[in-house]
Amino acid sequence: MTTDVITASGDAPVKELVDLLREREISAAPIVDDFGVVLGVVSWSDLHEIIEVAQPVRSRRWWRRAFPPRLYWPEGTAAGIMNGPPVTIGADASLTAAARLMHQRAVGRLLVVDAGHKLRGIVSRSDLFKVHDRLDAVIRDEAVHHVLIGELRIRPGAVRVSVDDGAVTLTGRTARRTTAQAAARTIALIPGVTDIDNQLVPDVDDTAAPGSAGHALRRNYLVLDGGPRSMAAAQA
């Protein structure tokens, strides 16, 4: 989010808001009270509804001269023309939640607030797009280093992770079926993951019922992280 937010007070005159948006080259400004609590938002679209644009009378002597239009605005303050309540989101919300809220409310920006509804910053669609550009690489890095190697202790290279637009594909082998299932479940919780295609092949089905073929196979192997070895090989 952007933390250097240009704001205005609720008692700011309309002319002051016009000058603020024009001089700072912004499309909208949050309106806050003396404690920094968000009250609403004033945008150019709000101002266009109340500002009158009139062309001045041109002198015949200077008929070739270009005269800029004059703006007329009524007396009033930001509190009287702002849109409220504004669309806000908590500072600890996920990027997925922010994108979903923008889509649902059809807005291009969200005001980020703390638990007391005080303004912390603004997150826009462009901010999310910047994150999206590098999100696949971040997801893959967290899946490999944090989940597979860090938490599940899977041998590096035993499982391959590919990420395309948030969709994760897992290929390779794991020692146990439960390990493959745990990998898919945990990686699905990484922020930004939209789908999981679990193609992992377990060497041992440790979910099989006693007496089944999978259970018999389990008795004949010593299962180690990264793959099983036969008991004879382990004792050699």
The pLDDT of residue 2 is above 90: no
- pLDDT > 90: percent of the chain: 39
What are the domain boundaries of the chain?
A: 1-85, 131-235
Cβ atoms of 188 and 204 closer than 8 Å: no
pLDDT at position 18 is 85
The pLDDT of residue 72 is above 80: no
pLDDT at position 90 is 93
The SS3 assignment for 116 reads coil
The pLDDT of residue 183 is above 70: yes
Higher pLDDT, 46 or 117: 117
Question: What's the mean pLDDT in 119-130?
Answer: 85
pLDDT at position 51 is 67
Q: Hey, which CATH number is domain 1-85, 3.30.1490.20, 3.10.580.10, 3.40.50.10800, 3.30.470.10? A: 3.10.580.10
Q: Tell whether pTM > 0.85.
A: no
Question: What's the mean pLDDT in 85-99?
Answer: 87
Q: Which of the four pLDDT bands, split at 50, 70 and 90, describes residue 146?
A: very high
Farthest CA pair distance, the chain? 108
Give the CB-side neighbour count of residue 139, counting CA atoms within 13 A.
Answer: 28
The pLDDT of residue 195 is above 70: yes
Higher pLDDT, 60 or 234: 60
Q: Which of 158, 135, 136, 134 is nearest to 148 (CA)?
A: 158
Higher pLDDT, 15 or 61: 15
Which of 15-19, 33-37, 215-219 has the lowest average pLDDT? 215-219
Q: Which of the four pLDDT bands, split at 50, 70 and 90, describes residue 209?
A: low
**If you average pLDDT over every residue of the chain, what do you get?**
80
Question: What's the mean pLDDT in 124-129?
Answer: 81
